[in-house]
Structure 1
Amino acid sequence: MVILDNSIVFTGLPQIRSDMGFSETGLSWITNAYVLVFGGLLLLGARAGDLFGHRRVFLFSLVVFSLASFLVGAAPSQWCLIGARALQGVGAAVLAPSALSLLTRSFTEGRARNRAMAAYGAVAGLGAAFGLVVGGLVADLISWRAGFFLNVPVGIAMVVLAVRFLPETERQDGRFDIAGALLATAGSTAVVFGIVNAADLGWTAPATLMPLMAGAGLLGAFVAVERRAVQPIVPLRLFASRERSGAYLTRMLYMGAMIGFFFFTAQYVQSVYHWTPSQAGLAFLPMTLVNFVLAVQVPRLLERVSRPKVLLTGVCLTTAGMVWLSRLDLHTPYLTGVALPMVLIGAGQGLALAPMTSSGVDGVAPADAGAGSGLVNTVHQIGSALSLSILTAAAATVSTDDEAADIAARSGAALTGSAVLLALAVLAVGILIVPSRATRNERSL
């Protein structure tokens, strides 16, 4: 529900830009308003589950998310739309870590959790791609707004199912680290704001440099607060594991590359091929189908091949597909220039997501389950927001005299940036995760 809702936006972006008069950089705030609040408050949302019970806050967040979805669909202006997307981020910030915490508490490390994480990864990948199809269809048949209204009946159904099937978890004594949450959110928002301004004003403009410096200072203060906090939202001991730290870095880079892929490819096929939103959504099927087929096979694969090798293979395949896709231009054919690269990208994502998630939560103490799950989701969302801002700024430097040629050239530039992020993710896996797992296996012997 959370991931699908974000991807629904992508196929509706051209309609939203036309209906509400967004600029190219302004359009990125429709996504960034959601992922920034989502990422900034995730740690607080995860802590809420520890203190009040994950099932209880899961239900509360479903209500908030569904209400915010309705407000997005009904938004009369640009700022109302962005504000409602931010409110969606608040609901998602509690919903996502509660779901992951319920999973990690329900399945022990090893085969059972590998199967659970594979299902989690498959649904996440399917949700991202299915959202593109649903968003395109409803934008074509009704309006881009209809995709958000769909969350209301889905949310109601999930509340009913959660009440019936989900067990409550034990509540822990403690308090919220409000200062840490505010500093994390404000710092990441300031950095993204500075990067977005760079696209319009340049990197040396005061409106670019001041938010960047303020963001760096706020994030530095966040680390200092977490070191002294009695009950921090990010226990720094979570970074003691080299494998977990590598998983956090890999996830930030990987998901940052993928959000650029969805954001720019969806616009490319509509503006260059002149496809309808529903056709644009269906254009992602080569990725969706391969992603799902491989994701459900990951548990069996992990019984024969080590987790780091599966992860490394997945990230390498995604990188190869992104390098291929980044060569697109105004005359690139869909089959060989878009569909076939998507097959590689889908195969890579299907293999990578489950082991990436498992490496990020394994070895976390039960008392830190909420914080651990929250941190996995936080690096996902903050990485997405930062990367999309950087890729949008890079794309904005490309300009021609034709709108379709502009979008083609900007998409190629942005996807080249995504390929660079994925290459860095390959290095992170090879340097941090693979050696740490080999060392752990040697010690167990």
Structure 2
Amino acid sequence: MPVSPPSTSAPSAQVVPPSAEPHGSASAEHDARGASGPRRWWILLILALTQLLVVLDGTIVNIALPQAQLELGLTDTQRQWVVTAYALAFGALLLLGGRIADYWGRKRTYLLGMVGFGVASLLAGLARNGTELIAMRGLQGVFAALLAPAALALLTVSFPRGKDRNTAFAVFGSVAGVGAAVGLVLGGALTEFADWRWCLWVNVPVVLVALVAGALLIRESKAEGDNRYDVLGTVVVVLGLGSLVYGFTLAEHSWVAPETIGCLAAGVVLITLFVWIESRVAQPLLPLRVLTNKVRAGAFLLQAIFGALMIGALLYLALHLQIVLGLSPLHAGLGTLPMTIMTLVLAPVITQLLPRFGPRPLMIGGPLVAAAALLYLSRITVGGSYAVEILPALIVLGVGMAMVLVPLQNVALSGVEPHDAGAASATVNASMQIGGSIGLSVFTTIYAGVVAGAVVTDEASQLAAFVDGYSAAFVATAVTLVVGAVIAAVLIRGPKEQLLPQGDQVAVHLG
């Protein structure tokens, strides 16, 4: 999501020497600036809208799932896979999507991804049964895997350095943070006043607007030099990630079943094989120096943990609001809005604080703040009040998310050379989606285990079992966030000037 050679210290931003300028072109001075003038701020608006689209699609169906389950006759496992299919296809193919963006052209990849995403959304809304819905959600994920890394790579080359880059990434990161909650609100409104299928069809007009604006405003950019695809690495990593996520899904029924153990073991072996392949091919799908830089690795892991929070934990919050508290889809969506508002309010404040304090204190403290919110949320009861049991936790959770998500993507992409902007960007997004897929599978396993162990005699005891399961999922998320704070403290180290790009650091080729 190539970069400077790996080291054991924080990544240092480097000026590309004149001899390394692409083609030695006379336009190098313009290239180093990325997109120029007001146009790049319009580009930021388009790319932020794109990020909102792919992130909110991870949660927009959450509110609609109870109605979709009734209409299509989904089992509980199918209900989970409506969410997992999107996140898994998205995350597993993102690295390939990033390389396609680098080699074929970021603008071309972006526009193709938009078209495919719109078509898949239309077909998903027309689904007649659970199998069709899950398949089309997976197809959405496939095209999102083209769209997302191309968008982030275009942002990277449009804002290559300095204060404007910090602002652009703060906006982009904030959209990523609030997108999940926006999906819940929008999904609630569409489900209540239209139909759950509009949670999928709503993408189509957004896609049309983004296509026209992107075609007019975005300039093509791509990596120069020898660009060959790592087909073997792609197949191995897709199979490995798929095996891991499916194994965690099977664990809902039994951790010791041969199928569960086999899938998890196969996933570990295939991911290990992928690392071995990447260390030996000339044009790797994921250059290992991207991961061996410890600061960047820490950012990727933190992104995965927050993916588990936004994709996994928020699903159970949506279910609690509707099934236990009895809120309508719209009110359940609006019930998550305080978290979004808090994140948006704090984003510009944190952006101003970044140059002074650097990202490290925020990326350590943010997960701890969010963990405290989840622990408070785990105290929910069947007859509890939203104002007492839910609202305070959401406000604090919004604070924690803003602290991490504003600087996170900037840190993750610091020091990445233009040749690998797509691959590095893909790793950022893949971390969130795979983290969300695995997190949702693990949280579902914990939830299902608690519910299965409850004694259910009537509706009240059934609701109590649900609440105990949701609480257990929230506690598991809180523990995961604490681990994230430890990871940030250990790996994200170094002077703040090295953790965020400063000055003229990279030269890019736009054409």
TM-score band by shorter chain is over 0.9
Please report the RMSD computed on the Cα atoms of aligned residues, expressed in angstroms.
Answer: 1.6
Instruction: Report how far residue 240 of structure 1 moved.
Output: 2.8
1:122 and 2:122 are equivalent in the alignment: no
- SS for the counterpart of 2:488 is helix
User: 2:187–2:196: 8 Å Cα contact kept in structure 1?
Assistant: yes
Match among 390, 400, 404 for residue 352 of structure 1? 404
Question: Residue type matched to 1:177 in 2?
Answer: D
Hey, what's the Cα distance between the residues in 2 that align with 1:437 and 1:22? 52
Instruction: Report how far residue 285 of structure 1 moved.
Output: 1.2
1:429 and 2:488 are equivalent in the alignment: yes
Residue of structure 1 in register with 2:237 after alignment: 184
Match among 365, 378, 388 for residue 326 of structure 1? 378
Q: In structure 2, do the counterparts of structure 1 residues 12 and 403 end up closer, same or farther at CA, with 3 Å as the change threshold?
A: farther
Match among 135, 159, 175 for residue 228 of structure 2? 175
User: 2:371–2:481: 8 Å Cα contact kept in structure 1?
Assistant: yes
Match among 379, 382, 388 for residue 336 of structure 1? 388
Using the TM superposition, name which of 38-47 and 127-136 deviates more: 127-136
Residue of structure 1 in register with 2:474 after alignment: 415
Using the TM superposition, name which of 323-332 and 2-11 deviates more: 323-332
Instruction: Report how far residue 84 of structure 1 moved.
Output: 0.3
- SS for the counterpart of 2:58 is helix
Instruction: Report how far residue 9 of structure 1 moved.
Output: 1.1
Show structure 1 runs of 5+ residues with no match: none
Residue of structure 2 in register with 1:99 after alignment: 151
User: 1:322–1:341: 8 Å Cα contact kept in structure 2?
Assistant: yes
Number of matched pairs: 440
1:38 and 2:93 are equivalent in the alignment: no
Residue of structure 2 in register with 1:393 after alignment: 445
Higher relative contact order by CA 8 Å / sep ≥ 6: 1 or 2?
2
- SS for the counterpart of 2:361 is helix
- SS for the counterpart of 2:220 is coil
What TM-score do you get using the length of structure 2 for normalisation? 0.83
- SS for the counterpart of 1:229 is coil
Question: Residue type matched to 1:292 in 2?
Answer: L
- SS for the counterpart of 2:261 is helix
Match among 306, 316, 326 for residue 274 of structure 1? 326
- SS for the counterpart of 2:205 is helix
State the percentage of identical aligned residues: 37
Match among 257, 280, 285 for residue 228 of structure 1? 280
User: 1:254–1:421: 8 Å Cα contact kept in structure 2?
Assistant: no
User: 1:326–1:412: 8 Å Cα contact kept in structure 2?
Assistant: yes
The structure with the largest alpha-carbon Rg is: 2
1:67 and 2:119 are equivalent in the alignment: yes
Question: Residue type matched to 2:356 in 1?
Answer: R
Output aligned runs, 1:12-411, within 5 Å. Answer: 12-172=64-224, 173-200=226-253, 202-399=254-451, 400=454, 401=456, 402-411=461-470
Hey, what's the Cα distance between the residues in 2 that align with 1:14 and 1:230? 49
Hey, what's the Cα distance between the residues in 1 that align with 2:374 and 2:161? 32
User: 2:223–2:418: 8 Å Cα contact kept in structure 1?
Assistant: no
Question: Residue type matched to 2:86 in 1?
Answer: Y
- SS for the counterpart of 1:228 is coil
User: 1:118–1:354: 8 Å Cα contact kept in structure 2?
Assistant: yes
Hey, what's the Cα distance between the residues in 2 that align with 1:98 and 1:165? 15
Instruction: Report how far residue 98 of structure 1 moved.
Output: 0.6
Q: Which structure features the higher share of helix residues?
A: 1
Hey, what's the Cα distance between the residues in 2 that align with 1:416 and 1:25? 22
Question: Residue type matched to 2:293 in 1?
Answer: S
Instruction: Report how far residue 438 of structure 1 moved.
Output: 6.7
User: 1:36–1:185: 8 Å Cα contact kept in structure 2?
Assistant: no
Hey, what's the Cα distance between the residues in 2 that align with 1:138 and 1:385? 25
CA deviation profile, 1:291-310 (whole Å, cap 9, x unmatched): 11111322211132221112
CA deviation profile, 1:322-349 (whole Å, cap 9, x unmatched): 1111221323321121111000101111
Hey, what's the Cα distance between the residues in 1 that align with 2:151 and 2:283? 22
User: 1:65–1:88: 8 Å Cα contact kept in structure 2?
Assistant: yes
Hey, what's the Cα distance between the residues in 1 that align with 2:240 and 2:107? 30
User: 2:58–2:311: 8 Å Cα contact kept in structure 1?
Assistant: no
Q: In structure 2, do the counterparts of structure 1 residues 99 and 440 end up closer, same or farther at CA, with 3 Å as the change threshold?
A: closer
CA deviation profile, 1:381-410 (whole Å, cap 9, x unmatched): 111111110110011011231442232111
Hey, what's the Cα distance between the residues in 1 that align with 2:495 and 2:71? 51
User: 2:222–2:419: 8 Å Cα contact kept in structure 1?
Assistant: no
Instruction: Report how far residue 22 of structure 1 moved.
Output: 2.4
Question: Residue type matched to 1:199 in 2?
Answer: E
- SS for the counterpart of 1:425 is helix
Instruction: Report how far residue 113 of structure 1 moved.
Output: 1.4
Question: Residue type matched to 1:376 in 2?
Answer: V
- SS for the counterpart of 2:57 is helix
Instruction: Report how far residue 138 of structure 1 moved.
Output: 0.9
Using the TM superposition, name which of 306-315 and 264-273 deviates more: 306-315
Hey, what's the Cα distance between the residues in 2 that align with 1:312 and 1:84? 38
Instruction: Report how far residue 313 of structure 1 moved.
Output: 2.6
What TM-score do you get using the length of structure 1 for normalisation? 0.95
